[in-house]
Structure 1
Amino acid sequence: MTVTNDVNVTTAPRRRWSPNNFTWAALSFAGGIGLWWLATVGGLSELPSPWAVLTRMIELALDGQLWEDTFASLRRVMIGFVLGSVIAVPTGFLMGWYRVARAVIDPWVQFFRVIPPLAIIPLAIVTMGIDETPKIFVIFLAAFLSAVVSTYQGVVSVDKTYINAARVLGANDRVIFTQVIIPASTPFILVGFRIGLGSAWATVVAAELIAAQSGLGFRMQQAQLYYDLPTIFVSLVAIGILGLIMDRIVVWAEEWLTHWQERV
């Protein structure tokens, strides 16, 4: 016998087209450039026009100076950020998992966390010289402090219900740590990476302003002496673009690693 369903099934209404995030970002960028251009054309600001900055950027790129400075700053940021993050993650796990480690490490982390890395630059230069070591060290410190606090917070924020349920099912500490603690802490760790990237770029620019022979911060300092505003803006734009690209990479990694997490 065949059973028929007399209930009318209505199809869901079609979604209206809506711009994606990339479109909104492009519109926001274009709007910002437009306001900048209007401010310079209307005489409301002494800032260089977008066209002047673009022209100067092309000149520096063709001359090779822009690529040299960009590579120098990017190299310092990547070395300091990677070293800081690699050491911060296991340190944060130790602090969150073992009370003794937390009692020993946490006071030092909080002590250095309230000291701006910029304040350590003069001491680092005096004790380590004026080569790459002090610059990378202060970047390492900025990235480490951001990542270690986020990792620790991620461990202690894990819902105890998940841990108790795993123990009831017979899981030992190793399984709980690898299958519960690490996945639940991943979003916190990646947020710490994003904050650490911003701190790393701010720190490297400050370090290059004090003692460097290359880099985007060094180029801004040199341009300041000659009141070369377009060159200053070129360095600022380069830093902003590099920081945005690196931040998007971390965001994509977060979406890939935490696809199981409910999102709004």
Structure 2
Amino acid sequence: MTTATTHRRARGAATTRTGPVEARRPCPPRRLLGANLPYQLLTFAVFAVAWEAYATVWGGLLLPTFTETVGATFQLLGTAELWQAMYVSNQALVIGFAIAVVIGVPLGIVLGRFRALERFADVYLNILLVTPMAAIIPLLMMSVGFGLASRVILVAVFSIVMVVVNSRTGVRQVDPSLIEMARSFGATERQIWTRILFPGALPAIMTGIRLGVGRAVTGMVLVELLMVSAALGGLILEYRGLFRAPMLYGTIVIIVAEALLLISLARWGEHRLTRWSKATTARSTR
């Protein structure tokens, strides 16, 4: 065996060790949990201590302490009333947000692809962006009623704007030279859509979905507070009327926790589906 052959095999073995092995290496817990987790925990601890001190010294009937809120939260989690309310509320959340994604993603991609269609739809997107959504609730009450349909429509209207706008932006960010290159090699319009436009816009689409989740939770609670005194919104109104401040704050804590959980799941899905884009960006900046 020659010396050159030995060096080539050694280099190949080194490449194999430093390439696939590192790619298969699991992420450390710090990366999985996030580098900012210690700072977030510290901030939360400071907030909890400040809340406890303020409520103990200056709080009254309407402001429970932090420990009372935590106790009420765990007490609520053990009641069937809360889970029934969450089931009713999340029906509108799931259906409305699914409609927003199913309609919003294709609509945003089409608007980003065809500028002529955007001229007709842009004014309606601007209306949805600047109009206070609470003003739409009386219109829904008069046209649809007080049932599930009105709650689903409001959740969808709340969240679809973010999905459409980010999907449109993602298509516009695709390099036009890639489309021209694909056409020069004989790619069909379907191949351009499936292999260039949609993959290129996927990071922005996932960002719109993540932002839309938060808007959907806001719409879910708002419609129950202002239109239908039922489910989680009904619990908030009931505890407020009875001056049961710990239970009121505990309900709000549960709603916020659900929203944070859904946003974290959306962020995880965004990371899983767009991992290739981060790797491509890292290689291009080297």
TM-score by length of 2: 0.79
The counterpart of 1:169, out of the listed 177, 185, 189, is 185
1:39 paired residue number: 54
2:121 paired residue number: 105
Structure 2 counterpart of 1:21, one-letter code:
G
Deviation at 1:28, TM superposition (A): 4.0
1:88–1:147 CA contact under 8 A, matched in 2: yes
SS in 2 for 1:162: helix
More deviation, 247-256/58-67: 58-67
Deviation at 1:18, TM superposition (A): 6.6
Establish whether residue 159 from structure 1 lines up as the match of residue 172 from structure 2: no
More deviation, 220-229/235-244: 220-229
The counterpart of 1:126, out of the listed 132, 138, 142, is 142
Deviation at 1:126, TM superposition (A): 1.6
1:93–1:155 CA contact under 8 A, matched in 2: yes
1:197 paired residue number: 213
Alpha-carbon RMSD = 2.5
CA 1:158–1:45 in structure 2 vs 1: closer, same or farther (change >3 Å)?
farther
The counterpart of 2:85, out of the listed 55, 69, 84, is 69
Q: Aligned residue pairs: how many?
A: 252
CA 1:35–1:165 in structure 2 vs 1: closer, same or farther (change >3 Å)?
farther
1:40–1:49 CA contact under 8 A, matched in 2: yes
Deviation at 1:148, TM superposition (A): 0.8
- Unpaired stretches in structure 1, ≥5 consecutive residues: 6-16
- Structure 1 residue runs of 4 or more that deviate by more than 6 Å after TM superposition: none
Deviation at 1:161, TM superposition (A): 2.4
SS in 1 for 2:78: helix
**C-alpha distance in structure 1 between counterparts of 2:272 and 2:71, whole Å:** 38
2:65 paired residue number: 49
**C-alpha distance in structure 1 between counterparts of 2:75 and 2:128, whole Å:** 42
- Of Structure 1 and Structure 2, the greater helix share is in 2
2:101–2:160 CA contact under 8 A, matched in 1: yes
Structure 2 counterpart of 1:63, one-letter code:
T
Establish whether residue 252 from structure 1 lines up as the match of residue 268 from structure 2: yes
**C-alpha distance in structure 1 between counterparts of 2:183 and 2:110, whole Å:** 20
TM-score by length of 1: 0.85
Deviation at 1:27, TM superposition (A): 4.3
**C-alpha distance in structure 2 between counterparts of 1:153 and 1:163, whole Å:** 16
Establish whether residue 96 from structure 1 lines up as the match of residue 112 from structure 2: yes
Establish whether residue 208 from structure 1 lines up as the match of residue 224 from structure 2: yes
SS in 1 for 2:168: helix
Deviation at 1:217, TM superposition (A): 1.8
Establish whether residue 229 from structure 1 lines up as the match of residue 242 from structure 2: no
Identity %: 27
What do residues 206-256 of structure 1 show as CA deviations (whole Å, max 9, x unaligned)?
A: 111123242222211121112221122112111111111110111111111
**C-alpha distance in structure 2 between counterparts of 1:146 and 1:198, whole Å:** 10
1:216–1:235 CA contact under 8 A, matched in 2: yes
SS in 2 for 1:212: coil
2:77–2:83 CA contact under 8 A, matched in 1: yes
Deviation at 1:50, TM superposition (A): 2.3
2:169–2:204 CA contact under 8 A, matched in 1: yes
**C-alpha distance in structure 2 between counterparts of 1:35 and 1:68, whole Å:** 33
Structure 2 counterpart of 1:151, one-letter code:
S
Structure 2 counterpart of 1:34, one-letter code:
V
Structure 2 counterpart of 1:170, one-letter code:
G
Deviation at 1:145, TM superposition (A): 1.4
Structure 1 counterpart of 2:81, one-letter code:
Q
More deviation, 91-100/55-64: 55-64
2:101 paired residue number: 85
Describe how 1:11-22 pairs up with structure 2 within 5 A.
Answer: 20-21=33-34
**C-alpha distance in structure 2 between counterparts of 1:256 and 1:60, whole Å:** 34
